[in-house]
Amino acid sequence: MAKIMAMVRVLLDGSVQPPDVVEGIRKALQSVGASLERYEENPIGFGITALNVILTAPEEDGITDRIMDTLQGVEGVSSVELEMVSRAG
């Protein structure tokens, strides 16, 4: 089965530590068959941090919507934005 690679920007609540949220993201993605490949922390200001997350998932109908809904439900996540999707190959 083909895979997709996606880059998602995740804004964190100011009260959480990024490594804790990354662990929650990693576990949540497994529930939809996706996996976290890598991430980068970007401090924005006023104690707010954004994570640029690169992930892979099976190419199937509705997978990006399921990923976004799953990420939004992770504790410590304020908002998520899909930046890019491409076929991995």
Residue 88 lies in a domain: no
Residue 84 lies in a domain: no
Domains in the chain, number: 1
pTM of the model: 0.91
Look at the block and give the residue holding tokens 């109908």.
Answer: 61
Residue 72 lies in a domain: yes
Span 31-60, average pLDDT: 95
pLDDT digits (tens, 9 = 90+) for 21-35: 999 999 999 999 999
Range of the domain at 62: 3-7+17-79
Given a cut of 80, is residue 89 above it in pLDDT? no
